[in-house]
Structure 1
């Protein structure tokens, strides 16, 4: 009996699995989805100028500040409307009843009414003299200028970021191209070392040394290729491209002649053209207007209003009714509110003045630093170009000496390392030169004029 039971257990398990297996196949677990084919990536070829123009058109930061500028203009229109005539069409129809004892001295409770009346017609008003409202309109108008300046600041920042990232992509591709050349050179030298070893001229250690150098260059090539992708992803984000599109840079990392920049003239240009200075000037004018608005609240205000209505108990017995009214408001006692508002405006003016000093100091520092960096970058390009030329000559001479059997390939490997450093130095020098030009344009507030036009 025990043996029979033991044999029947696996039989029951197999039967249960056979029963449920079709349902498992027919009804798969929820959440498991079949892999779908991704849409092909479309390449968008862009020059540096085209990339900057595209970013200024559709970058989210630029669009957001453009909307803020439009909102500021709408606020100006709202403030202006308070100074203009207001008119409306009113109509009222009512039936009322009240207790007569509430308006007469009587102990008898009696109802009066119901009374019915209708009235309809235009109502109007106009502020004849209200300096606070006028100052409020001036503040909102100045706010439009400030919003425009802030939008320009954002456009300058976004343009500088795009140019910087574009140059980083160019640097990544230049590094990748140089790495491919060095890999090809390392492969040729490795094959040369192997051939010399087979002929008995070279040593095994020369072949191993050449192979080690080849693997190092191949690893550098892999890293350089990865950098071309990752830097391009950041550029696509700045350009706000769809996920199925990828930018393809068409320019090259190169050196170009630039005129010399005199520091004093560059600083004066920056202080006059930087959008941050324009926004600062608008803030100062707004603070001054708010100070005047606070002090002018003591001035009497005059308003005019009125209406012309058709009144009656019914539509067929109405007569014209009108009222024209002039209001004169003279502030006498405000419990210190006006004095506190004036003091608050004075503090705001002082704070904005301190911000101006900080901004001017920062602009002066940025212009001076960018000018010095640009001058140094020019010299570095010249030194790096000469270093690359010498490194190529060193590799050629070491290769000839090794091929002739005069020396081992230690000189060749050493020359390869020197060539790799020279390549990197040249690419870095070109990158720093182009980036220092961007920094100087940003310091002078001319990124859009330099790269987008």
Structure 2
């Protein structure tokens, strides 16, 4: 009876659950913009999550440095039972009366001590500069997080373009198989009509077999590139996706090199990050130099002490201190030289990052110009190859040419199609690289 009820309930719910299950298994429509958004989401790319944790660590280091400006408060309670050897403190009692002496061991007696202590750094220039250095490091980490997000966006966009290229290669391979099959049918009809030979049919079948192998390889490459994209995005590797974009050509006229370089110097987060790192290294060096200066502090101690609670009396100590560093074995000077070397390293890195940004802009611009010309040449080459194959087929059907001429034209058309796909990919990749180099990647993705 119970089993029959479950069966009836399942049958009733099946029509309602079917649309849900179908939706859950349907591929995710994926554009380049959507892929980047998923990669930058909190549960997306691992590098983005690690960058957020780096910000959290830097914020805590700022709080640690800031703690040097706040008083340190401690409280303690002691309740002890003890004896004391007066001889240990230099007390010796010799009485002139024979047979009488004072004890050297005093006690046991009880001591109850409840006390609060406070210490405060009134003036310490080293702590001030360390706090400034920590804040500069925090700013650098936040900017570095922006750099990481740009790198993840760039990697995701490149992986997406690779998937579009794999789709185009697979479509081209499928078209080549269809063309090869049509040429096999043509050779068989010619053989049946007596105008063709068996070797021509075999030659066409070999070409068909080769194209089928290339189609299988293209499908495997597409799966591999899709897995790489899913990994970059932080999705499950078995998540079904469907690309909404196609590998295409969009005319783009880039600005002059100097204008692009000016844009890059203003927008690239790597330059801002390195400037903050250099500033943090400089402040750290100044902080260590300031350790040679005197420091001023204040202290206070207040509490009650006695044999028990009823006998306790209030006592206190308060005052100020001046500490002047004299000699620490050369450790401070060694740390100062070390920090200065680190500061010089950051200056060198700043120059190198600037040169690297300029190199990336100029190389991306040159690659874009070359890729544009490559697209034009590939488009023309494919048109010519298609015309050549059409003429070769007409000549073969008319009986004035052999199938070898058709096979050669077929091979050149396949190469032209591959060149067209490669040229389109190189052009779109060059546009992406130029956007990354100039700091306008977000505008490129959102267009």
Q: Check if 1:45 corresponds to 2:39.
A: no
Q: Corresponding residue for 2:230? A: 236
Q: Contact 1:291–1:342 at 8 Å: present in 2 too?
A: yes
Aligned pairs for 1:27-106 within 5 A:
43-57=27-41, 58-103=44-89, 104-106=91-93
Shift of 1:243: 4.0
Q: Corresponding residue for 2:316? A: 322
Q: Corresponding residue for 2:14? A: none
Q: 2 CA distance for matches of 1:181 and 1:360? A: 47
- 3-state SS of 2:112 partner: strand
Larger displacement relative to structure 2 (353-362 or 226-235): 353-362
| 1:68-115, Cα deviation, whole Å (9 max, x unpaired) | 111111111111112112333332222221112222124876321223
- 3-state SS of 1:82 partner: helix
Aligned pairs for 1:332-343 within 5 A:
332-343=326-337
Q: 1 CA distance for matches of 2:237 and 2:430? A: 31
Q: Contact 1:99–1:109 at 8 Å: present in 2 too?
A: no
Q: 2 CA distance for matches of 1:143 and 1:245? A: 39
Q: Corresponding residue for 2:270? A: 276
| 1:180-202, Cα deviation, whole Å (9 max, x unpaired) | 11111111111111012111122
Q: Check if 1:441 corresponds to 2:432.
A: no
Q: Structure 2 stretches of 5 or more lacking a match?
A: 1-23, 95-101
Pair 226,292 (structure 1): closer, same or farther in 2 beyond 3 Å: same
Q: Corresponding residue for 1:5? A: none
Match of 2:203 among 199, 209, 227: 209
Q: Contact 2:288–2:335 at 8 Å: present in 1 too?
A: yes
- 3-state SS of 1:299 partner: coil
Q: 1 CA distance for matches of 2:407 and 2:49? A: 54
Q: 2 CA distance for matches of 1:105 and 1:46? A: 94
- 3-state SS of 2:189 partner: helix
Match of 2:353 among 351, 359, 365: 359
Match of 1:221 among 191, 215, 219: 215
Shift of 1:168: 0.8
Match of 2:400 among 397, 400, 406: 406
- 3-state SS of 2:82 partner: strand
RMSD of the TM alignment (CA)?
2.1
> What TM-score does the superposition give when structure 2 sets the normalisation length?
0.87
Q: How many residues align?
A: 414
Q: Corresponding residue for 2:17? A: none
Q: 2 CA distance for matches of 1:320 and 1:448? A: 68
> What TM-score does the superposition give when structure 1 sets the normalisation length?
0.86
Q: Check if 1:137 corresponds to 2:131.
A: yes
Pair 313,42 (structure 1): closer, same or farther in 2 beyond 3 Å: farther
Q: Corresponding residue for 1:381? A: 375
Q: 1 CA distance for matches of 2:335 and 2:171? A: 65
| 1:230-249, Cα deviation, whole Å (9 max, x unpaired) | 11111111122224424432
- 3-state SS of 1:332 partner: coil
Q: Corresponding residue for 1:423? A: 417
Q: 2 CA distance for matches of 1:259 and 1:95? A: 90
Q: 2 CA distance for matches of 1:256 and 1:122? A: 75
